[in-house]
Amino acid sequence: MVFFAMSRRHPLQLLSTTDLVLEHERLHEEIDQLQRALTSHAVIDQAIGAVVAFGRIPPDDAWRVLREVSQHTNTKVRTVAEHVLKFAQGGALSDTELEELRRALDRCSAHVSTGRAHS
C-alpha cells in the first residue's frame, strides 16, 4: 500500500514514510507539551484563587504574589502554586516559602493601602 503526503512547508514535495513518522512524533511531543501547559495553568489559576481568598486581594495581585514568591525562593511558579494549594488545604509550606508569601502579601497590602499601583 502506498501513501502520499505533501509537506506543509514545501507543498510540491512528497513526504517519505520516515518523514511522516518524524512528523507524527513531533506532533505527539507538541500535544504532550500543550497538555502539560494546560495542567500547569490550571494549578496556577487555582493557587491564584487561594491567594485571593486568604490574602483578600485581587487576582492580578495574587498572580504577582505567586511570582514574587517564585523569584525570591528560586522556585518555579508552578511548584510554588502546587505548594500554595497544599497549604490552602491544610498542608504545610516550607519556612522560606511561608515567609516569602507573607512578605509578598504585606508588600501587596502596602501598595493597596497607599493607593499606589503594584508594579
Report pLDDT digits (tens) over 3-12. Answer: 566 667 766 6
Residue 11 lies in a domain: no
Q: Span 79-97, mean pLDDT? A: 96
Pair 91, 48: CB distance under 8 Å? no
- In single-letter form, the type of residue at position 77 comes to V
Domain that residue 53 falls in:
17-114
d(CA 13, CA 106): 61
Q: Give pTM, 2 decimals.
A: 0.70
101 part of a folded domain: yes
Give me the torsion for CA of 86, 89, 94, 99, rounded to 10°: 120
Whether 84 is in a domain gets the answer yes
In a domain? residue 86? yes
pLDDT of 75 over the 60 cut: yes
pLDDT band at 43 (very low <50, low <70, confident <90, very high): very high
**Total domain count for the chain?**
1
Residue 100 lies in a domain: yes
Q: What 3-state DSSP class applies to 6? A: strand
4 lies in some domain: no
